[in-house]
């Protein structure tokens, strides 16, 4: 009988430990994505302030080292960085940037992102050459592959 009781108490302890750890894992993912959003907002608000009055000027005249994302209103760069890049990979700006110097190319992730833009462009061309596809604007974006992850899945989970 004594053994049974201690077994019961032991199971209760294990069970509550599992509950606690699941709960904290849940809170962790939640607050992680909250803090990513909060960080991005601080950077974007500061940059919006910095380009005030120049939002509609050609992007390449407002920023220092745009090699690909030229000939668009400067403000568009910020939404591409936020929605197009960061959200597609599920990261904040510092994954690709030294946030003290946005034009710097010191992070390999930024260099890779430029190559990824070329890769996406080539895939878009290939898709538009498949005459049998009915859609007018069949396309791929960063999100098509990344789906909120840094490393895209190669198989269904």
**Residues of this chain that bind ligand HEC (CB under 6 A):** 40, 43-44, 47, 63-69, 77, 81-82, 85-86, 89, 91, 93, 95-97, 102-103, 109-110, 112-114, 116-117, 120, 123, 140, 142, 144-146, 150-152
Using CA atoms, how far apart are residues 128 and 86, in angstroms rounded to an integer? Answer: 26
Contacts of 85 (CB under 8 A, 6+ apart): 96, 113, 142
Distances (CA, A) of 129 to 115, 152, 155: 21, 25, 26
Complex with ligand HEC: residue 24 or 110, whichever CB lies closer: 110
Least CB distance from residue 1 to ligand HEC, whole Å? 57
Least CB distance from residue 30 to ligand HEC, whole Å? 20
DSSP E strands in the chain: the ranges are none
Least CB distance from residue 115 to ligand HEC, whole Å? 8
Terminal C-alpha separation, the chain: 45
Contacts of 82 (CB under 8 A, 6+ apart): 40, 44
Q: Are 103 and 91 in contact (CB under 8 A)?
A: no
Least CB distance from residue 20 to ligand HEC, whole Å? 32
Least CB distance from residue 59 to ligand HEC, whole Å? 8
Distances (CA, A) of 102 to 2, 43, 97, 99, 157: 67, 10, 6, 6, 36
Complex with ligand HEC: residue 23 or 147, whichever CB lies closer: 147
């Amino acid at each position: 009988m004594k053994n049974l009781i201690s077994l019961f108490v032991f199971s209760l302890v294990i069970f509550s430990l599992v509950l606690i750890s699941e709960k904290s894992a849940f809170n962790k993912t939640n607050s992680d994505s909250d803090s990513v959003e909060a960080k991005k907002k601080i950077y974007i608000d500061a940059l919006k302030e910095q380009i005030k009055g120049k939002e509609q000027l050609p992007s390449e005249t407002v920023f220092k080292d745009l090699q690909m994302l030229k000939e668009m209103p400067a403000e568009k760069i910020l939404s591409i960085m936020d929605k197009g890049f960061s959200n597609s990979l599920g990261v904040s700006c510092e994954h690709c940037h030294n946030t003290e110097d946005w034009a710097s190319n010191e992070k390999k992730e930024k260099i890779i992102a430029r190559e990824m833009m070329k890769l996406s462009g080539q895939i878009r061309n290939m898709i538009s050459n498949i005459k049998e596809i009915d859609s007018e604007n069949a396309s791929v974006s960063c999100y098509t592959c990344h789906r909120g992850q840094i490393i895209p899945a190669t198989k269904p989970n």
